[in-house]
Chain A
Amino acid sequence: MKNAFLAGSVCAAALVAGAAMAQDEPYDIYLSMSYIGNDWQAEAQNMVRALAESSDYADRVNLRIQVAGPNAQRQIQQINAMVQAGADAIVVYPISPTALNTVVKSACDRGVTIIAYDGEITEPCAYNVTIDQTEAGRVTAEWLAEELGGEGDIVVITGVPGTSVDTARTAAAMEVFEGHEGINVVGEAVGMWSQAVARTELSRLMATRDWSDIDGLWMQVGCYTANAMQIEAGIAPEDVLPCAGEGSNGGRIQMLPADTAVEGGAMPYAPMGAPRISYASPPYSGALALKLAVDILDGAEVPKLTTLPLPIVTSETIQLCETGSWEEQRDGCNAFQPSLVANPGWFASIFSEELPQLGLNAALVGQAEN
């Protein structure tokens, strides 16, 4: 590869000169996002930006962020424009796993590194950073089945229909539920991965039944909202139903034992010892993709598929952070003070072993640790 060779020779020259810099010019790296009108995307963007501006990367990377909107046609065009503009690498949040294949292939052919995060690109020359969505669906469904002792009526709230992430998660979960004779799915609704939609759909589901008619919930996003609705319906915090779902900070705070002291927040954004398993597509995957892109350009060996560890938090492993620094999260904390994170729908799975530059502030406001 030309770039690898270049980087290598520059590196050798730099060593001779005794400088710490491995390259004389920063890499031109582009980020093609899809839609930024939701919390997850905004958070992911903050983290990518923070990493690019951190002292480790500020001189090494020239990052330009562009948004394609929800239209795959535009992302195709955008990636091609990025190639034309002379990108060394392109980090992509793919709108569609398949629609980009042709343009990605032609970018690879022109020596540009393409790396996708969260969603996958099926074209073999692209690098992918993602979690195992099937595993996520299976593990959470198994937790719920076990929590219910293999018996009970449950409600399922899915994601955006027609996407591969939703299909993989839901199919895996349904397979688990079908394996348990006693588990009945009594209601199923489309949650669009949004707390607001989850609230509307749950209200519709509950219009014709009572909370006591169901025993548990499996949701891709919405456990925080489900718990809030039970509290509103007069159910005591210690009696809320087991819920397998997303990694929002509001949900994490609810998982803390009821007597935990937290700063800020008010019921239902408060500790209540809710029985939960919490997982998420971590929003740091974009930042990690950027890091890997630099590694690849430096000539390092990076596998085509990076499967991130599934960020699973259960009522047993939940732990409150004081400041949310990277070190603190490394030591095991995974929920943030409501006084720091005002929005309970904010995604809390932001810790990565490999990104010491990124703490709470990176995800909140795009500010790196160093």
Chain B
Amino acid sequence: MSGTPARVLRSLGRAQGVVVAVLVFAGLMLLNALLSPFPLSYFDISFLSSGGATTAIAAAGQTLVILSGGFDLSAGAVVSLVNAVLASSMSPTDMDAPVVLWTAIGIGIGAAVGAVNGFFVAVLRLQPIVVTLAVMFIVQGITLLILDTPGGFVAPSLGAVFLGDAVPGLLPAPVALIGVLILLWLWLKRTSFGVTLYAIGSDVESARATGLRVRAVTFLTYMLAGGLYGLAGVFVSAQTGSGDPLVGNALLLPTFAAVVIGGTRLGGGKGGIVGTIFGAYILMIVVNLLLSLNVSAYFSTIAESAVLLLAVLAGSLSRSSTLSLRLRDLSDSLRARRAGRLVGQRARQDRRLAFTRPAERIDAPGILQSHGHTLRYALPSYACLALVLIVTQLLLGNVFDGWRYWDSLLVLSCFLIVLALGQGAVILTGGLDLSLPWTIALSGMLLTGLVAGQDSGLWTAVPLVLAVAALIGLTNGLGVVALGLSPIVVTLAMNGILQGAALLWSGGTPAGFAPPSLRWLMTGEIAGVTPIIFVMVAFVAAAILLLGRTAFGRRIYAVGNSEMAARLSGVRTGRVIVSVYILSALCAALVGILLAGFSGQASLGMGDDYLLPSIAVVVVGGALITGGRGHFAGMVGGALLLTAMQTLLAGTALPFAFRSVFFGLVILAAVIALRE
């Protein structure tokens, strides 16, 4: 292990993320101990260790998937499923149920779901984020079929083993369990499986070209991750002694936060489970700190976001990090400007070399030739849409014999269509915007609060709301470009900050309501057509032109295909990336305004239901989650498809559980149709 000091330093540098996570954790523990009036007892340690264990175990699974370059949205749903299965099938009279058997059952269920994910991702090569999104809906539905309300029974024997003491008075069982996981991981990392996992995450094409077993390892990764979610589900069951069909769903975002705090790179190839586990415990200890410091309720999401940002930032600081690169760039260009050597300072004159000449003209390509690629990815969503429409007509009628259905469909889709432009542009550059929910809510609340129900107020309120949104987008963009943080971290933290801001601004009760003209736009009519539909037609046309025909649009695709290549071709990639986040925030603000008009007022949680659909719409519409591919027309098709599907399901008397399953199946079908 030991070597020259340089080698030790190098390996420490490589493990910077983990080291920082451990240091932050230790610092927070110390701070907590200092603030607490009582010394930390064994009991407290035991309780702390069990409190964070579920998140830690689930996040460990998530780490594997992220290391392979994937993304698993089904993690929380699997935890709920295992909890529901255990709680509903254990016999209430059997106090000493066999722990090993039930643990194996839990892990097995998780691994089975993981195998489904793995099959679609590894064998059919579908995009992980949509596959796991669809599986998440399906699993949530199945969970509700098994257990439709909190209840059931989990034998105390499980709790005794998982929450008891491995060594009484010295080693709590959760710590031992996590220790075993870490040891297994350290072993796994050194096997050929582990090496292949990192290779796939670093560069899947090279890994394949080198002859590594990419497909088998990816499949196994998802299965292993599923098994870990299953174990987390068993742990929750042991901890709570009963079942709750929703218990795991809220774990999804914390697992991502834990992974990134632990120093694992989103996109794969770098990081590991040890850091993640500390990341998970940092998230839990923050709860205690907020209590000790008596941070008020409205500030809690802001404080948590700050911890997330600082921890990730600290983990990424180094001479080669983006932040220091940017600072160096800045000082270089300042120096160049002072010396008069900056490119922009040179006289503007044609410097083309004399022997260059215009390129030879080639024949204009045929329509199919130039648009075939777009059609290939945009059409499936429309094909699925047609199918859903036909089924709706057969089951419910009123689709093809009147305008009413179409009017509702278009009005309800308009929110997703607008979001698809912003989220779509961000995804085209290879990013992701998770700050949509509270950008929507804050914008809606600002608008209704400022206009106080008067049309005349719109003239000042709308520009102001859009300006605030632009500022939000700018901050997101700068966080990504200047600080070099992962878009997921920046926008997740922004979402928390905005939630706090919205609560502080409204005092918990959003004031005012939408002015009459805005309500008319969303619910009135011009010759039987809701006015917003005309606006949407113009919006879609403008958006297609923006992404497809302008220099800005071309640059977005260029950045998404290869940021490096785009930069070397003279695209100011930083500006492009910042602009797409601004565009996304503006679109979210527009949705906030439209939703306020639609509902007549704003409410705090009004944006919550739009985050996952906004991503689903973009991907179902044919975009590649890693960026560079996708057409807005396809995304519009995706928005219409999702809305038509929800309309169909709402019209039937099917229980919610089945609807969730169907919804997942349709998303899955749509992405299978997109398969290369």
Contacts and interface: CB of A to CB of B under 8 A. Distances in A.
A72 B599 contact: no
Interface stretch (A76-84, A141-149, A285-293, A323-331): A76-84
B246 to A, nearest CB: 5
Contacts of A69: 250, 300-301
Interface in B258-285: 284
A184 B647 CA distance: 20
Contacts of B512: 342-343
Nearest to B37: A86
A39 B247 CA distance: 23
B329 interface: no
B157 interface: no
Contacts of B228: none
A196 interface: yes
Interface stretch (B6-14, B354-362, B503-511): B503-511
Nearest to A105: B241
Interface stretch (B23-31, B196-204, B461-469, B601-609): B601-609
Given A77-B288, A199-B598, A204 B244 contact: no
A343 B510 contact: yes
A222 B503 CA distance: 23
Contacts of B151: 98, 164
A27 to B, nearest CB: 16
B418 to A, nearest CB: 15
Given A77-B287, A78-B287, A84 B38 contact: yes
A187 B54 CA distance: 38
A102 B240 contact: yes
Contacts, number: 243
B44 interface: yes
B408 A66 contact: no
Contact of B509 (A33, A42, A71): A42
Nearest to A86: B37
B47 interface: yes
A203 B412 contact: yes
B251 to A, nearest CB: 6
Nearest to A106: B47
Nearest to B608: A37
A163 B509 CA distance: 24
Contacts of B392: 208
B412 A204 contact: yes
Interface in A33-59: 33, 36-39, 41-43, 45-46
Interface in A333-353: 342-346
B650 A195 contact: no
Given A38-B604, A163-B150, A204-B412, A85 B292 contact: yes
A105 B290 CA distance: 23
A187 B650 contact: yes
A207 B404 contact: yes
A208 B651 contact: yes
B243 interface: yes
B288 A81 contact: yes
Contact of A196 (B36, B245, B246, B606): B606
B150 A96 contact: yes
Task: Name the residue among A41, A66, A68, A187 with the largest chain B CB count within 10 angstroms.
Answer: A66
Nearest to A268: B600
A365 interface: yes
B241 A66 contact: no
B294 A195 contact: no
Interface of B: 36-38, 44, 47-48, 51-52, 54-55, 143-144, 148-152, 159, 163, 236, 239-247, 249-251, 254, 284, 287-288, 290-292, 294, 296-298, 300-301, 392, 396-399, 404-405, 408-409, 411-412, 441, 452-453, 499, 503, 506-513, 516, 523-524, 595, 598-601, 603-606, 608-609, 646-647, 650-651, 653, 656-657
Query: Which 10 residue pairs are nearest across A and B when measured between Cβ atoms?
Result: A42-B508, A207-B408, A167-B149, A77-B51, A98-B242, A204-B650, A71-B250, A70-B250, A99-B240, A162-B245
Interface of A: 30, 33, 36-39, 41-43, 45-46, 64-74, 76-78, 80-82, 84-86, 96-102, 106, 122, 158, 160-164, 167-168, 185-190, 192, 194-197, 199-201, 203-210, 225, 228-229, 232, 266, 268-269, 342-346, 364-366
15 contacts: A39-B509, A43-B509, A77-B51, A85-B36, A96-B150, A96-B247, A99-B244, A99-B247, A164-B151, A187-B650, A195-B603, A342-B511, A343-B509, A344-B601, A345-B601
